Chain A
Amino acid sequence: MHQDWIWGLVGGLMIGAGAGLFLLVNGRIMGASGIIGGLVDGSGRETVSERVAFLGGLIAVPPLLVPLYTTVDTHMTSSVWVIVAAGLMVGLGTRIANGCTSGHGVCGISRFSLRGIVATAFYLLGGALVLVIFRHFLGVI
């Protein structure tokens, strides 16, 4: 448990390396919501194969590393309503704001983008408020 932050840092460096590779080699911003959203709403019609390849790596590589761990527990909730509401909000919110944790957070903050910093402040605020309301007051998550 006390080593979590070290692995967090190592994982973070790997995420940064992935984002750096995508920017320097492909000339693209590594934003998960933008890459997925462009496929969903058709705005990324000209770059479909690149988007699919990126998501292919994102989906296919983690399970290859799972056997290295004794357990990988995602602690995912089984409440259908929580999942559906959360999914809708994440999908809508990231596309209205034009970015998520990877695009606004990793790629935006690192170039001191005001939009990235403001977005990050507000999604952290939104998340913290939900935890206060739904965990501490209502006790549902």
Chain B
Amino acid sequence: MRNFFAFLSGGLFGAGLLVAGMVDTKKVQGWLDVFGDWDPTLAFVMGGAVSVMFFVWIFAKRRETSMLGSPMPGPFPRLVDRNLVLGSLLFGAGWGLAGLCPGPAMGSLSFNGWEGWLFLIAMGVGMALAPRAKAWLSVLDRSTLEVPPCENGTKEASATSATRGA
């Protein structure tokens, strides 16, 4: 049952991407190309999808479990951190370069030639490397934290370090 509805959701998602023209890399790049021949279509796609989901969330937030009995997702992380910002910038750059993001890459796989498959493989490799990249980023974080606080010359700071020293 779960798999049936998962298939249905994926099918609706894919059909929507096709109908909206979002499998066309030219339209996606056209949206991002604000200084060129700008194409506003993507805003309507996003607007349509977000407005449906706005009403869905009103119902979803009242529910403890999904209709098939599994727990609803959440609580969601709220922290805006470096991973979110850097990851999104990197993703956006790749998105602009080829005009493909993960959804349309899957949806257009059957009619996007070898190029679509190559993109999918490269994306899979990137995803497989991501945990390592994240670990590396968090090491950077920790090393920053381990640097002892520098003397900033205020009386309060020297007072506390003196207490700690004693």
A residues whose Cβ falls under 8 Å from a Cβ of B: 4-30, 32-33, 36-37, 40-41, 49-63, 65-66, 72-78, 80, 82-98, 100-102, 104-107, 109-111, 113-115, 118-132, 134-136, 141
Contact = CB atoms under 8 A, between A and B. Distances in A.
A112 B134 CA distance: 26
B43 to A, nearest CB: 8
Contacts of A51: 6
Interface in B64-99: 65-68, 70-73, 76-80, 83-99
Interface residues of B, number: 117
B115 A25 contact: no
A74 B116 contact: yes
Contacts, number: 486
A18 B96 contact: no
B93 A129 contact: yes
A130 to B, nearest CB: 4
B48 interface: yes
Contacts of B9: 18-19, 21-22, 25-26, 30, 54, 57
Contacts of A132: 35
Interface of B: 2-27, 29, 32-36, 39-57, 59-61, 63, 65-68, 70-73, 76-80, 83-103, 105-113, 115-116, 118-131, 133-134, 137
Task: Provide the main secondary structure of the chain A interface.
Answer: helix
A104 B42 CA distance: 15
Given A25-B67, A74-B108, 5 more contacts: A62-B14, A83-B119, A85-B97, A92-B87, A95-B126
Contacts of A113: 76
A101 B87 contact: no
Given A19-B9, A30-B9, A90-B101, A12 B47 contact: yes
Given A14-B12, A15-B45, A92 B6 contact: no
Nearest to B130: A95
B50 A109 contact: yes
Contacts of B119: 76, 83, 86-87, 90
Contacts of A15: 12-13, 16-17, 20, 45, 48-49, 52
A64 to B, nearest CB: 8
10 contacts: A4-B41, A9-B20, A13-B52, A18-B13, A23-B66, A61-B12, A91-B125, A93-B89, A110-B57, A114-B80
Contacts of B85: 97, 118, 122
Given A25-B68, A92-B126, A134-B97, A78 B115 contact: yes
B127 A91 contact: yes
A89 B110 contact: no
Contacts of A22: 5-6, 9
B127 A110 contact: no
A49 B121 contact: no
Contacts of B120: 87
